[in-house]
Structure 1
Amino acid sequence: MTDENVRAPFGRPRRGLPVDGLMRLQLRLPARLGRRVYAQSAVERRHLSAIVAEALDEYYLRHPEESWTSMT
């Protein structure tokens, strides 16, 4: 996905997204799911970010970028 194809949410201007490296992403999710992720983190003794990153990677593998639809 190139920066030209990415539209800013709610019409706000967006700076270019990084091509590589790391970026910060904030998520809102139901409290029930948040409690489950915290519990998993405690059991596995892993950081929350590692668990969420793994889940997003699995989602991306199951649903490649080409299958995503535009929200415009």
Structure 2
Amino acid sequence: MREISLEEAQATLSAMIDDAVQGRPSIITRHGEPQVVVLGFTEWERLSGVPSFGRLLLSAPLEPEDLPERNPGAFRPMDV
């Protein structure tokens, strides 16, 4: 993924959009720090449809008896 300054992005926005649609996203930087990623709508839709690990866990078909009981007083020693 290419990095491009904000000033250069303003001057070449149309080309950046064409690249993003073709599957070549760009990172726009401000003062040398990454700020924004420009990617095509199709890629954004694909990425936004991927569930987070937390959502996958919440959607798992588990019953309370499927999980082991916890011993709240037992801690393992830490190796430091």
Report if TM-score (shorter chain) is over 0.5: no
Higher alpha-carbon Rg:
2
TM-score, scaled to structure 2: 0.22
TM-score, scaled to structure 1: 0.23
Q: Which structure has greater strand proportion?
A: 2
Task: Return the structure number with greater relative CO, CA threshold 8 A, min gap 6.
Answer: 2
